[in-house]
Structure 1
């Protein structure tokens, strides 16, 4: 499947990071749906939102964080690829089916993770 045929649900509360990552993904041919919190993303999921890849930050305001969201998606949508980003090493906390990308994430590393071209060098 080509990038242009895949939809990414991008969950990030920092507006500049959200805009930068959304631009990077869009320029690579992905369709991007943005959510500024894990709570908002969870609400979108409950409406039956269709997407192929979840890219989520960990620390966000609200009742859910990105780890809880990733765990929920891993169980409820096993066909969705999951990429978790954070400025701290939470790689040991993410679902086993997810990929961890440390922040600040270089665009090429993020695109490798989203495209499924692993492993990613630190």
Structure 2
């Protein structure tokens, strides 16, 4: 992609190996990947980088903000950013999140995640 600007994806995951796996998977598909280990780091990155198109976040993270709350804050402050949430648990039915958020239960299928990231970043 010489000379082309790659779409930017922010991966938010507290487990280092899972964060590395997701980042490598998305980067190998042709995206620029930024990483954050928790929601607080993600919010700082989002303030610093105005070119982020997609956030790929886990639900359960340390600190006071989980992935669902992060998604709500992103939608309030940066409505154009697309959001993918992932978790080892089923989607919480009672979760109050914007309707356009995509959820993948772990273990997720690489092809489905990448198809979704490509569609969202277009």
TM range (shorter): 0.7 to 0.9
Q: How does 1:15-34 map to 2 (within 5 A)?
A: 15-34=16-35
State the match for 1:12 in structure 2.
13
Cα distance change, pair 10–97 in 1 and its aligned pair in 2 (3 A): same
Offset, 1:49: 4.3
C-alpha distance in 2 between matches for 1:109 and 1:55:
13
What RMSD over aligned residues (CA atoms) do the two structures have, in Å? 1.7
- Between the aligned partners of 1:52 and 1:81, the Cα distance in structure 2 is 6
TM-score (norm 2): 0.84
Q: Which runs of 5+ in 2 are unaligned?
A: none
List, as ranges, runs of 4+ consecutive aligned residues in structure 1 with deviation greater than 4 Å. none
Against the structure 1 CA distance between its residues 102 and 44, is the aligned structure 2 distance closer, same or farther, given a 3 Å change threshold?
same
Aligned length: 114
> Which residue is equivalent to 2:118?
115
Give TM-score scaled by structure 1 length. Answer: 0.84
Match of 2:106 in 1: 103
